[in-house]
Amino acid sequence: MHIDPECPVDLHTHTTASDGSLSPEDLVDLARQGGLCAIAVTDHDTTDGVIRAIEAGQRAGVVVLPAVEISSQHKPGSMHILGYFIDVGEPHLQDTLAEMVRNRDRRNRGVIERLNNLGVQITLEEVAEYAGGDVLGRPHFARALVSKGVVSTIQEAFDQYLDAGAAAAVPKEKLPPEYVIDMIHGAGGLAVLAHPYQLRLGDGEELEKRVRLLCDQGLDGIECFYPEHSEPQTAIYLSLAARYSLVATGGTDFHGSSKNQTRLGLQPPLRASCVLQLAARRARNICPRS
């Protein structure tokens, strides 16, 4: 891979293929304007934006890593696993992602039913207008609820109706982490634990136990650099990466204007050397292990 190890990269971004506000092409354009030499497109449970982003990247001179972010079973918080360098045409991966889409459709219909039962008159078609043909998810429900005057802010929509445990929330069926890791490996990719603070296991013993288990299950990396991580947290995650031979990655979780964060690229910047480490680890993984 021809990439300057010093140039800035962002390995966690979303497009309109999931819940981001920018198309794959516009995301790549923003990356180029921001001086990034590589991004990973990590949409939730879909790779639909990846090929478009790669093609736009070839035109713009930005390396685009084929990737995905998959929600996995975990309590008390949430566990997201990033898959980097995946073969997006791999059948088992695509079959599983398609099944997740069917589950999401069932869940969306369930949210509508619950809202209706709560006296909120809203239809799936109305919510779909806010998705503009893209995967329909909670941000679109939130926008519909605001525009109908049911709540006054997006945050209120999540707090009162959509967040886990709220009045109209329907729990998401999730895959066990070992299944997700195997599936990513089966597609030739590397499995990386996203934003570890969201596991809500603290930064001590509990977190380490979980990371050790995930390592036994084949985890390849841990997202150490993330806008919500404090400096001490980043240091703890880096030390876990070092002790368990995991690649330390990072990204902004860029969603454009869909969430309150519009900056692409971390401060201080994440360097492309971590992309090269991922590539090296992948080369080792696909060689027969002795």
Binding region for Zn ion (CB under 5 A): 69, 80, 194, 253
- Of 10 and 115, the one with the shorter C-beta distance to Zn ion is 10
What the block records as the tokens of 280 is: 């090296």
Smallest gap from Cβ 20 to Zn ion, in A, equals 9
Q: Which residue is nearest to Zn ion (CB)?
A: 80
- Of 45 and 253, the one with the shorter C-beta distance to Zn ion is 253
* Dist CA 204 CA 130 (whole Å): 41
* Dist CA 160 CA 107 (whole Å): 17
Smallest gap from Cβ 65 to Zn ion, in A, equals 14
Smallest gap from Cβ 77 to Zn ion, in A, equals 11
Smallest gap from Cβ 42 to Zn ion, in A, equals 6
- Of 30 and 115, the one with the shorter C-beta distance to Zn ion is 30
* Dist CA 119 CA 30 (whole Å): 42
- Of 32 and 259, the one with the shorter C-beta distance to Zn ion is 259
237: enclosing H helix or E strand = helix 231-243
Encode burial over 154-188: b for 16+ CB neighbours within 10 A, e otherwise.
beebbeebbeeeeebbbeeebbebbebbbbbbebb
Tell me, rounded to whole angstroms, the distance of Cα 241 from its chain centroid: 19
- Of 164 and 280, the one with the shorter C-beta distance to Zn ion is 164
Smallest gap from Cβ 194 to Zn ion, in A, equals 5
Q: List Cα–Cα distances, 76 to 154, 167, 198, 200, 213, in angstroms.
A: 24, 19, 9, 6, 16
Provide the residue type at 81 as one letter: I
